[in-house]
Structure 1
């Protein structure tokens, strides 16, 4: 696959990442805890019926200069305990309104650095959910880990706590590049870490996460990192494009002084990694994931049954409405979204008063649900059949097209650039089109034309 400079120049523009629709920067601060409670109640009667939980652990040992997440530099264990106690209470406040006959498909811990805290806290949180809900067979109990903080003993404790999927944030195997962005390398040999998980249970899943677009990276160096990852045969490999948003995360300005790769250099890194992973037997999944052929994500892609939420790609088997806990976490329900306050002390104070700590949110309108389904299908499955989607939404294909502002002239432009093929019934995203899929789905977002919101660039 080749990407011309003309296409780069044409499509490297600011567009949403579409992990939700509408995107999170459309949430409004008039949304209250009571509004969220009404969404929770409504979610019991909405599809998907299954439940997902997201738990945000904001604590980090140090700041990684590329980080775009909500984090708190750890002070002491007492502060962690107060926070975890508040999360437990938020869980209790929330789940009293969730129908207990519904089953849980996924628990996901993100951060911050979830493994920066004592594993006892993680086990207690999991147990609280295990005690209150039934789970599907083979649910996904996932945790994002900074391998710089892992020990073999800590891994055993994570197994004991019930985790069965591990995302190890490697970012790069080059110690000089890591040092430049204030990231420590893995404390344990990564290949042995993967083998340790598989030895405990071959059914457990491991993915290695990397970032491209950091200072000092180039296609050759990033290619060497990816070669090492492929040789270790994790179930999944993820290559995130560094999102430079210094207007939101001021510490990222440090990287500007160190020198960031331009769009052409980032694209060369992406294409190098893409080819290496395809040649290495990995299947490209959506924007940035790669999976072994037998992995559940690869099977779901083949069957057009991929889904996506704030936590990343999942299958429709593990898809659920997601209830978020902790600072900055987002509840992602069928009829709307609710995001908690990002202030740790405000969060704990409100929880202690029995108040859901919602800072902002959004009630999704009927036409936005239609747009969301179109965007999800294209982002996940790189394919849409207007009539099949109409059947699932119980509306006509023409109504869907009208709602998303279907424009054949725009599609012709994408087709001329070899990004997609289409007829009146279907759209198929090409291999090249996957690179620019955010641009393609933005064409089905009528609200984007009127928006003045800022987003990271597509490349």
Structure 2
């Protein structure tokens, strides 16, 4: 499908493009007042839908592969104090939002959100229901560590309205889990999925490839086991080894970390299993059943992506994020809260946003963001469609991206794209290197000062 020589050629450190500009461009000159102003302006921008993100940083133990912003603690008093601050922040920001706007997505991430008790979860959900306009069509999702799930916990989540659960399996092989300091699922995964499906919820199973002791054959076996339990989506994340950011990742080096060639072999074998079973490849790392809304959106070329993951263009909203380190993703700005829990709680208790840094987007950023999203999500770029969607001319789009068709010629020769005057299309082979293709349209890349993970 794609040869090693080509993978070696394109295995470069590049942004993941979950946002544009990437978070490496956020700066501390962006103030809490800037955030409030951006929130108020967002009421008059598209999309009108609202997405809410809640960051629960707590984990009871540290997984050595983790690249998330977490806090290892079992201190329930700290949990309660944090929850009070989280609810206070929701109340502060909600006063600046036109809450007649519909909430289409609520996403709980972490950390380990299900480290909280169901009573604590319910307290936060009640605050959301009180302050925002949620409806029966809202997707309410939580990332869960299956090591801490019980049947009663699942039942309580269903009663609160949760209708999508992402289970962080990572791998079914307990030797691999032990090497990365992660506990296996407390219940058989099939039982968890059956209970969720019976309660009307959809299920994602999340896996990581590139961990110690993993091989292409072992990862393929893990994916086969995943397929057997019939999740709605399977997500395969490439392990990003960034010990200069997360020093605990160095621990994994003692058992050996698979190199790029072996990692790609893992992905390809896993992908082959999923496609053979009928799952549709979505973007870089998701696989969904044909009837899933993501598969339908991809077919209709209306797939979208934000910090919360893939969604449809119809259901995505501007993201208002709550909790330490949480990143709001508005039409006109990004804003990130402080990563320090005491600082976060102090700021919110004073009635202020806990914004530490952010970025105000200009018209060029918004245009480039739309182009990169289109390539990353829908595997193509139709200049006319994007121009009409954001009220620009095609010439303006080409100017802001500094587009030079000659840059595409090497990609065409390598079989990664095809193009004409109207449209650029990412080939099946090119989908494996879509970050490289998107990077050609990023005028800020040459000025980026931070290190990125490699594409493979």
| Matched ranges for 1:202-213 at <5 A | 204-213=201-210
| Residue number in structure 2 paired with 1:4 | 3
Which residue is 1:220 aligned to?
Answer: 217
CA contact 2:107–2:308 (8 Å) conserved in 1: yes
Give 1:186-201 correspondences, 5 Å limit.
186-201=185-200
What is the rounded CA distance, in whole Å, between the counterparts of 1:129 and 1:452 in structure 2? 38
How far apart, in 2, do the equivalents of 1:451 and 1:133 lie? Answer: 37
1:137 CA displacement:
4.2
Residue number in structure 2 paired with 1:423: 420
Q: CA offsets, 1:368-416, max 9 Å, x none?
A: 1100000001111111210111111111111101111112122111111
Q: Does 1:293 align with 2:290?
A: yes
Question: The residue matched to 2:103 in structure 1 has which SS?
Answer: strand
**Cα distance in 1 between the residues matched to 2:134 and 2:91:** 18
For residues 427 and 369 of structure 2, what CA distance do their matches in structure 1 show? 21
Aligned residues: CA RMSD: 0.9
On the 8 A contact 1:126/1:162 being kept in 2, the answer is no
2:327 corresponds, among 327, 330, 340, to 330
Which residue of 446, 451, 454 corresponds with 1:449? 446
Cα displacement string for residues 344-389 of structure 1 (whole angstroms, at most 9, x for unaligned residues) = 0011111111111111000001111100000001111111210111
Q: Do the aligned partners of 2:25 and 2:448 also contact (CA within 8 Å) in 1?
A: no
Of 260, 274, 277 in structure 1, the residue corresponding to residue 274 of structure 2 is: 277
1:100 aligns with 2:99: yes
Find out whether 1:33 has 2:32 as its counterpart: yes
Question: Counterparts of 1:452 and 1:308 in 2: how far apart (Å)?
Answer: 24
Which residue in 1 is equivalent to 2:303? Answer: 306
The correspondence for 2:363, drawn from 366, 372, 377, is 366
Q: Is the 8 A contact 2:91 2:131 kept in 1?
A: no
State the alpha-carbon separation in 2 of the partners of residues 390 and 318 from structure 1.
Answer: 21
Q: Which residue of 2 aligns with 1:171?
A: 170
Q: Deviations over 1:304-327 (max 9, x none)?
A: 111101111111222000000000
C-alpha displacement of 1:136: 4.5
Which residue number corresponds to residue 390 of structure 1? 387
Residues 406-430 of structure 1 show CA distances to partners (whole Å, capped at 9, x for unaligned) of 1212211111111111111001111
Match in the other structure for 2:161? 162
Structure 2 partner of 1:122: 121
Match of 2:180 in 1: 181
Q: How many residues align?
A: 456
Q: Could you give the per-residue CA deviations for residues 139-159 of structure 1, whole angstroms, max 9, x where no partner exists? A: 110000000000001111111
Asked if 1:267 corresponds to 2:264, the answer is yes
Out of 385, 390, 401, the residue aligned to residue 404 of structure 1 is 401
Deviates more, 1:420-429 or 1:82-91: 420-429
| TM-score, normalised with respect to structure 1 | 0.98
* CA deviations over 1:272-327 (Å, ceiling 9, x no partner): 01111100100000000000000000001001111101111111222000000000
Give the Cα–Cα distance (whole angstroms) in 2 for the partners of residues 143 and 7 of structure 1: 37
Q: Structure 1: how far apart are the matches of 2:73 and 2:176?
A: 24
- CA offset at residue 233 of structure 1? 1.2
CA contact (8 A) 1:328 1:340 kept: yes
Q: 2:237 aligns with which of 200, 217, 240?
A: 240
Is contact 1:140-1:318 (8 Å) kept?
no
Measure, in 1, the Cα distance between the counterparts of 2:17 and 2:439. Answer: 9
Contact persistence 2:148–2:185 (CA under 8 A): yes
Structure 2: gaps (5+ residues): none
Equivalent position of 1:54 in the other structure: 53
Separation in 2, partners of 1:226, 1:49: 38
Q: Distance in 2 between matches of 1:39 and 1:256?
A: 43
Contact persistence 2:146–2:185 (CA under 8 A): yes
**1:68 alignment partner in structure 2:** 67
Moved more, 401-410 or 204-213: 401-410
Cα distance in 2 between the residues matched to 1:283 and 1:75? 39
Give the corresponding residue for 1:138. 137
Q: Deviations over 1:236-272 (max 9, x none)?
A: 0000000111111110011122210000000000100
CA distance in 2, matches of 1:282, 1:124: 37
Report the alpha carbon displacement of residue 120 of structure 1 after superposing the two structures with TM. Answer: 1.2
Displacement of 1:135: 2.7
Q: Aligned equivalents of 2:266 and 2:69: distance in 1?
A: 27
1:354 aligns with 2:351: yes
Where 2:16 maps in the other structure, the secondary structure is coil
Write the distance in 1 (CA, Å) between the matches of 2:383 and 2:430: 19
Aligned residues of 1:123 and 1:162 also touching (Cα < 8 A): no
